Amino acid sequence: MTTSRRPAIIKLGSTMPSLSTHRGDFEEWVLAGMAMRREDLIVVDPRRGEALPALDGLSGAVLTGSQATVTEHADWSERTADWLRRAVLRGLPILGICYGHQLLAYALGGEVGNNPQGSEFGTVTAQLKRSARTDWLLGGFGEAIKVQTSHSQSVLKLPPDARVLASSDMDPHLAFVVHENVWGVQFHPEFDVEIVKAYIRAHREELHEEGQDADALIETCEPSPAGPEILHRFTQLIAEPGASA
């Protein structure tokens, strides 16, 4: 790192035991995408009562996904939302992934709830908006990218001052940005094909009840080169001097 400050991963959930036994957990997947070592950053799990990091010592933060839902308003989640409001005011670069994306939107005044289009699982096409063309994370990809998804809730209303960057057939708010350095992405840049297929299988019954074909979703899964690139770009941002306030 080029400054004395370090980034943080705010661990908001854990993956399924069937995956964690041989693939590790969310923070390991994020670390791999960022090409960083665990000792290069701070990992905090507020679900376990761990204190959220002091903002003065941070260069940026990544918020992971979770099996929980924002609308449960768990104490640890509300505490993290309060911390996020302060972090955004301080100008800290933030990347919220899936649950992190939803919690970020909620913390800043948006609305989160069950996706009226249903659950979105598998590899989907993210249509990039004109506003994404010059964005640090999503600029330069063209009009669309393939991304991995696994969610039943979504951001129903963006927070004030947020700009939508990407949408999918099932989610109009697939990615947004606030203040040019605070991003929420409903998709999982840290997922690979094996992981996203495992999530589809785990939610097979739920998908069937919604009239979705899990086997067909599995068949259409494909790699997402944009995922690791997005994590790499965020790493570059938070490694630069003056990235955080």
33-55 tens-digit pLDDT: 999 999 999 999 999 999 999 99
Residue 221 annotated to the active site: no
pLDDT tens for residues 84-109?
999 999 999 999 999 999 999 999 99
CA distances from 214 to 102, 118, 126, 219 (A): 24, 13, 20, 9
Single pTM value for the model: 0.95
Q: Model confidence over 175-222: pLDDT tens digits?
A: 999 999 999 999 999 999 999 999 999 999 999 999 999 999 999 999
Q: Provide CB contacts within 8 A for 54, sequence distance 6+.
A: none
190 annotated active-site: yes
- Domain, as residue range, for 54: 6-239
Is the residue at 27 inside a domain? Answer: yes
Q: What is the CATH number of the domain that holds 177?
A: 3.40.50.880
How many domains is the chain partitioned into structurally? 1
Residue 245 is assigned to a structural domain of this protein: no
28 inside domain: yes
Residue 188 among the catalytic residues: yes
**Residues composing the chain:** 245
Domain annotation covers residue 158: yes
Q: Which of 120, 151, 173, 190 is catalytic?
A: 190
Which residue in 101, 173, 188, 203 is the catalytic one?
188
